[in-house]
A and B are shown apart, each in its own frame.
Chain A
Amino acid sequence: MKQALSPAAAAAMIPDGAVLMIGGFMGVGTPNRIIDALVAAGRRDLTVIANDTARPNIGIGKLVAAGLLSRVITSHIGLNPQTQKGMIDGTIQVELVPQGTLAERIRAAGFGLGGVLTKTGLGTRAAEGQRIIEIDGVEWLYAPPLRADFALIHADKADYNRNLAYQLTATNFNPVMAMAADTVICEPREILPVGMIPPDAVTTPGVIVDHLIERAA
């Protein structure tokens, strides 16, 4: 059994300039204690790949507010004026990707595929600078795989072998991100003995999860 990490120890593993995938949808299903530890550690020049940047001072919004991000690859920043301001001022490089395409780009990386072909975004600004591929007379937008150094994810339950189960709409990007990063760190709501999560309920097998965050004090 591998020892669970404190949030501070997890943050210490993450260097300045790291590329992070962070789970969650508007802060729901986001590993908040790891984020707090990153803010406390003052990590800088981070790239974050995430569905959205939540709201100011919620979830990923805390990283934005602390000025720790230099680049964001995301589908939505509409509820975080600080991210929008950073984009306009040029302090944060923001790449906007359609949400389904973002999910598939992450999946492609995690599933060993060379990218995906989609209709989404064809003929729009989302296609600018992207490759359009014609197959049998049909045009597709090519979406390349997207990998990260670290996936910081949330789960409902983990067992001592790091098998993970998720809950309701807190699932979102967490399982797919667990497949697409060199190091996967999960902050579960609770940690249970092996066997407490039935095999059919395990969504992410523990063999691909590197570290659990210890229970909250």
Chain B
Amino acid sequence: MSPEELIQRRVALELHPGTLVNLGIGLPTGVSRYVPASSGILFQSENGIVGMGSPPPEGMEDEFLTDAGGSFVTAVPGAATVDSTLSFGLIRGGHLDATVLGGLQVDELGRLANWMVPGKMVPGMGGAMDLVTGANRVIVAMQHTARGNPKIVPACTLPLTSVRRVTLIVTDLAVIEPTDDGLVLRERAPGVSIETIQAATAAALIIPPNVPEMPIETTAA
């Protein structure tokens, strides 16, 4: 199983049946593959759809039905399309149960930086600041390190996306929950030791007496 698939499968377990969820572009998009249709979860895309479906068959795309990255999508039965003000009303107004986003850094206060690298990458925040500030739960889905460098750090050095504390961090090594006391290590990836996780983490981690493996079966893949 690839690190991405492990992260996506673990994040999928966090989503609540019958709720509205926004998946960011990239790694988070793939979470939907591991969410059964019977869950009743509706995916929102901030460009204005509630109930986004998988990509259409080639040659059958609708030029007016896309995701926030501009890629063609479908609408599930029962979907609704809305304008940008209503779309962000859903996000800020407490109607979005969870947002899943990638991250560049998360710090000991649980603050996320994921929208710019000064001098290198200034794409703009798009909807990320609204999503992280407004969603009921914020789940960061990312690789634990970038080119060997820890992404979970004592304090973000990159510009923050929001000062709001994220709900959960899911990586290819661990599940970490930011709390009032600091970052608590909740789960290990299958076969990964606590020492390995600590070595790949620059921030201080609180280690409970029992840190179980993620409830993901990896042997099949």
Contacts and interface: CB of A to CB of B under 8 A. Distances in A.
A173 interface: yes
B169 interface: no
B62 A168 contact: yes
Contact of A168 (B64, B88, B129, B130): B64
A167 B62 CA distance: 11
Contact of A87 (B62, B83, B122): B122
The 4 A-B residue pairs whose C-beta atoms are closest, nearest first, are A78-B123, A100-B88, A26-B70, A123-B163
B69 A77 contact: no
Contacts of B83: 166, 171-176, 203
A76 interface: yes
Interface residues of A, number: 48
19 contacts: A25-B48, A26-B66, A51-B84, A74-B124, A75-B126, A76-B126, A77-B123, A79-B70, A99-B125, A100-B88, A103-B85, A104-B88, A119-B164, A122-B163, A124-B162, A169-B48, A169-B81, A171-B82, A171-B84
Contacts of A167: 64, 81
Contacts of A121: 129, 133, 162
B63 to A, nearest CB: 7
A126 B64 contact: no
B200 interface: no
Interface in B177-197: none
How many B residues are at the interface, by size bracket? 35 or more
Contacts of B128: 98
Given A74-B124, A175-B83, A99 B88 contact: yes
Contacts of B129: 98, 100-101, 120-121, 124, 126
B127 A28 contact: no
A55 B68 CA distance: 13
Nearest to A80: B123
Contacts of A93: none
B124 A78 contact: yes
Interface secondary structure of B, over-half rule? loop
A126 B125 contact: yes
A22 to B, nearest CB: 13
Interface string A199-212: 00001000000000
Interface of A: 25-29, 51-52, 54-55, 74-79, 84, 87-88, 96, 98-101, 103-104, 107, 118-126, 156, 166-176, 203
A77 B88 contact: no
Contacts of B46: 99
Given A100-B88, A124-B163, A171 B81 contact: yes
Given A26-B47, A28-B66, A172-B48, A99 B159 contact: no
B194 to A, nearest CB: 32
Contact of A28 (B64, B85, B87): B64
